[in-house]
Structure 1
């Protein structure tokens, strides 16, 4: 994973990716020692409560619906330490 070498503070991760979806990618990241404390935001075209619950279960910290509202993103990022 590119995140392992880059070690970002935050990842905006699309759910609907080819080959490996965002849920599985998030789970893989969370399994890594370097990924346990990483802040991961799900980005999806789906924003129902069920979709947000699936994101939470996969290990995402937040779930934003596309197109991402910049003010909502800023609000989420402002809560980071």
Structure 2
């Protein structure tokens, strides 16, 4: 699959990208929502792992825009430090398919990714 990782903390984005690469998927990384949207438009990822606390545009808005661009062909997973019940509700309302709280449950993420297939 083609996977886009978006996190403004570069180390966090790179580590998550390396994990997904180790699972055999192609990854792209963006540290800001604007380049992330460009990657979505040009590369058509199958999966997006998005942080919520991003500069200029939060991950909720980013998810809404990605969902508008790609519809249901993309799986959106929130990977965030925001883990209260209303944070999860807000993520699902914004169009996320899953919500993971940092620190990440890597085994759960690996199991979920294993169930996904490329859209194209």
Task: Give distance in 1, aligned partners of 2:115 and 2:85.
Answer: 22
Match 2:59 to one of 19, 22, 31: 22
For structure 2, the 5+ residue unaligned runs are 1-36
SS at match of 1:12: strand
Q: Structure 1 residues 79, 49: closer, same or farther in 2, change over 3 A?
A: farther
CA-based RMSD of the aligned residues comes to 1.1
Q: Name structure 1 gaps, 5 residues minimum.
A: none
TM-score with structure 1 length normalisation? Answer: 0.88
Q: Could you say which residue in structure 2 is the equivalent of 1:69?
A: 105
What is the number of residues matched between the two proteins?
79
Rg bigger for which structure?
Answer: 2
TM-score (norm 2): 0.62
Task: State the structure with bigger RCO (CA 8 A, min sep 6), 1 or 2.
Answer: 1
